[in-house]
Amino acid sequence: MAKPLPVSPLASPLPALGVVAGVRLGAVAAGIRYQGRTDLVVAEFAEGTTVAGVFTQSKCPGAPVDWSRTALKGRSARALVVNAGNANVFTGRAGVETCRATAEAEARLASCAMHEVFLASTGVIGEVLPADRITKALPKLHGALSETGWEDAARGIMTTDTFPKAAVRMIEIDGVPVTIQGIAKGSGMIAPDMATMLGFIATDAALASAVLQTLLVKGVSGSFNAITVDSDTSTSDMVLLFATGAAGNRAIPDADDPALAAFREALNSLLLELALMVVRDGEGANKQIKIMVSGAVSDVSAREVAKAIANSPLVKTAVAGEDANWGRVVMAVGKSGEPADRDTLTVAIGGVTIARDGTVVEGYDETPVVAHMRGQEIEIAVDLGLSTGAATMWSCDLTHGYIDINGSYRS
Amino acid sequence: MAKPLPVSPLASPLPALGVVAGVRLGAVAAGIRYQGRTDLVVAEFAEGTTVAGVFTQSKCPGAPVDWSRTALKGRSARALVVNAGNANVFTGRAGVETCRATAEAEARLASCAMHEVFLASTGVIGEVLPADRITKALPKLHGALSETGWEDAARGIMTTDTFPKAAVRMIEIDGVPVTIQGIAKGSGMIAPDMATMLGFIATDAALASAVLQTLLVKGVSGSFNAITVDSDTSTSDMVLLFATGAAGNRAIPDADDPALAAFREALNSLLLELALMVVRDGEGANKQIKIMVSGAVSDVSAREVAKAIANSPLVKTAVAGEDANWGRVVMAVGKSGEPADRDTLTVAIGGVTIARDGTVVEGYDETPVVAHMRGQEIEIAVDLGLSTGAATMWSCDLTHGYIDINGSYRS
């Protein structure tokens, strides 16, 4: 990239990060693509660490996605290697070989099996990722890993991100203190249906991988799978959740166990916090858009309607222009293809009902809505008036910044 | 709009237009929304005129769409009334009443039944369209209708269009000379699945409405339904085809009749010419993109893949930036959800094969592709290597101009 991007006006400050017992991590400048910044991140996990993962639904996933999807079957994780700047996608046999060589080198350093090493890459597609850049940098990085390396890791996985993303929660399981901490990256090529970016979360809780997987899948449905920046689904994205067990809580066999109530809630809110950071770093974003759809024939249908609104370039440019153009919301509902009836449709922006039963409300005063549109967090609510299906999605506006960033990304 | 938009760099000059025997038309400034320009168009058709139509698939269509869809059941057309600037969508009972009042006034002037009057509106959504502006302007306009009013009509239906769109074909049916002539409008809120804009085509051929309908449906599948500007489907769009019968050719009962071969071909090419004008006037467009997908498991699947590429903001911004970023094409194939195999995928841009069998071709030289990207007509070809399904779609690039136009449309 020619020059650094200005930091998003919606950026969140990095929270005070703690440690997660059993996790050491760090970052190094391996010169993969960027100059003068870190671009290779490693995390190593204590023996006995379990893992859960969700991956992009792309039919053309990158080699690291294939690798990690396979590794996940072993249910055990000892290391994670992430590079930024090259996605290792559509690189044929060379891409597979880079994954193998990376995992082999890291397994030797971490004294673990190759299938306990997880890999993720993000960046440009179709260029060979030279394995030796990574394997040469790994030994030095291994020597510098630290329990306090979280911020370095959050910065090292960034690509077009304009701010590092991390979140932390502390709760208890059966009276035992437990930490959940995670980092994420992502700003473009974000669309629902997993995983739409990179997220790495670790906890010191002791949780079987099957329990962990259930918790993660449920958690992403209301967070990482409920955000969209530009409707484009990446070939590379994944969210991994590691549990080291260092906290020493008793084994809990069921994800629905009441003892996990606080953990579930904390995990879900952490996932949502990270996901919203991605939206708030949406390429060129000046405003966050929350879309609430109710009254649909089902939750799935509500989600499709919300997605149609969230992805509509005309809705997103209207928000960018601070124009309360609710007609475009109606258009997006109509194009979703989901059951909808013009004559039972209600549209509200910023809590103000604008249209009801197929027409604008009598005496509609645009003033409060105009004021709402000038803010940074826009709320659009649609009630279809058909049944009880509901869904919420988050998106951002579509601005000149998006064009600037994506019209010259590779150059 | 505050100031007129600059004419698209891809604009086509208006062709020399002829007359279509049995059609008289014209335009007038009715002051519906715009100042100092025509915004109301009427066409009147000779007795015995048959009609075919295709309409938006939106679940929230405008009142004029409902009206014309119903009118189509009568298979007979005597008049068409089109206004620009107000779409009469989501206007409740008032919108239905405006349609009724407009049709009633026009039916009186044209001495026909109300269900022989077709209506179309385009423009802002959710504002009441005052019937009296239209009904007051109709008598004067009726008196000024002319067989040579085609150019006026093409200009009168424009909204954010930057150039008028018309096309003409002259062929023979059984040795009888026949003319097909049409106008179109559209530049944003364009996406396939009918009708994505307004198109009005007339011919003096004598054709039963059932034959006409078959010809139109087939014709739009490779033209108006194969273009996309921004993936947003309008609530208002339609394509109508009128046949006055004035040419006096013999009745032809079957759309597949060999006697109609030249007519079919001419109609299809005219529809494609008009549809491509819409793409070439895509809001902010600097480049036309042709996407050819082959090797899919079916034509339908190929179409979905082509649509995913055509609608991808990342592909469209890459084209805007003249960046031969074929990795984003791979991404779009992957996100389409259609059967695809990375390892059998071939991607070519401007006729140059860039990637084959899951990796970049050996010794790939970007030079000719970079030169192609600098042109105005970009070609992207994808072969999935699975079977024989194929489809072609057209789109345009995504530029700052799109943001400019749509971030301030209503204001």
CATH for B77:
3.60.70.12
Sequence length of chain B is 411
Shared domain for A274 and A312, answered yes or no, is: no
pLDDT given for residue B334 in this prediction: 85
| Whether B292 and B274 share a structural domain | no
- pLDDT recorded at residue A2: 42
Instruction: State whether A338 and B92 contact (CB < 8 Å).
Output: no
The stretch A55-64 carries a mean pLDDT of 85
* Range of the structural domain that residue B115 is part of: 23-280
A136 and A257 together in one domain? yes
Among B250, B280, B310, give the residue marking a domain's end.
B280
Distances in Å between the Cα of A24 and the Cα atoms of A44, A48, A146, A167, B334 are 5, 15, 5, 17, 35
Instruction: Extract the tokens encoding A108.
Output: 């030797």
Contact state of B60 with A334 under an 8 Å Cβ cutoff? yes
Closest CB to B235 among A93, A331, A408: A331
- A200 found inside a domain: yes
Tell me if A283 is assigned to a ligand binding site.
yes
Measure in Å the smallest separation between the Cα of A233 and chain B Cα atoms: 6
Average pLDDT, chain B: 90
Instruction: State residue A167 phi and psi, 5-degree precision.
Output: -150, 155
Name residue, tokens 């803010």: A375
Is A11 within a domain?
no
Q: Taking all residues of chain A, what is their mean pLDDT, rounded to a whole number?
A: 90
Decide which of A331 and B107 is more confident.
Answer: B107
CB A330 to CB B232 under 8 A?
Answer: no
**pLDDT average, residue stretch A194-222:** 88
Instruction: Answer yes or no: is B283 a known binding residue.
Output: yes
Pair (B375, B249) in one structural domain? no
Residues A228/A307, Cβ–Cβ less than 8 Å: yes
To which residue do tokens 């904390």 refer? A266
Q: In angstroms, rounded to a whole number, what is the distance separating the alpha carbons of residues A316 and A310?
A: 7
DSSP, collapsed to helix, strand or coil, labels residue A147 as coil
User: Does residue A341 fall inside a structural domain?
Assistant: yes
- Residue B40 shares a structural domain with residue B147: yes
Query: For residue B195, what pLDDT band results from cuts at 50, 70 and 90?
Result: very low
| Active-site residue (options: B196, B203, B228, B235) | B196
A50 a catalytic residue: no
The answer to whether residue B28 is domain-embedded is yes
Q: Is residue B4 part of a domain?
A: no
Q: CA A250, A252, A256 angle in degrees (round to 5)?
A: 145
The verdict on residue B7 lying in a domain is: no
Residue A191 scores a pLDDT above 70: no
Residue A242 — very low, low, confident or very high, per pLDDT cuts 50/70/90?
A: very high
Residues of B in contact with A334 (CB under 8 A): 56, 58-61, 233, 235
**Domain identity same for B225 and B251:** yes
In terms of domains, do B255 and B143 share one? yes
Is residue B336 one of the residues assigned to a domain? yes
Identify whether residues B263 and B311 lie together within a single domain. no
* Predicted pLDDT at A233: 62
ipTM: 0.71
Given a cut of 80, whether residue B234 has pLDDT beyond it is no
Structure confidence at residue B357 (pLDDT)? 87
pLDDT at B40: 97
Cβ–Cβ < 8 Å for B345, B382: yes
Predicted local distance difference test score (pLDDT) of residue B237: 81
Kindly report, residue by residue over B245-292, the tens digit of the pLDDT.
999 999 999 999 999 999 999 999 999 999 999 888 877 888 999 999
**Whether pLDDT at A194 is above 80:** no
Residue B177 has pLDDT above 60, yes or no: yes
Domain boundary among A238, A259, A280: A280
Which is more confidently placed, A192 or A339?
A339
**CB atoms B89 and A230 under 8 Å:** no
How is the beta sheet containing A23-28 ordered, strand by strand? Answer: A23-28, A40-45, A79-86, A117-124
Based on the domain organization, do A53 and A119 belong to the same domain?
yes
Gap between the Cα atoms of B169 and B179, Å rounded: 6
* A238-243 and A198-203 strand pairing: parallel
The number of distinct structural domains making up chain A is: 2
pLDDT tens for B207-226 read 999 999 999 999 998 888 88
The reported pLDDT for the residue numbered B63 is: 93
In angstroms, the Cα distances linking B183 to A386, B64, B274 are 39, 18, 7
Span B340-379, pLDDT tens digits: 988 899 999 999 999 998 888 989 999 999 999 999 999 9
In which band, very low, low, confident or very high, does the pLDDT at A368 lie, cut at 50, 70 and 90? very high
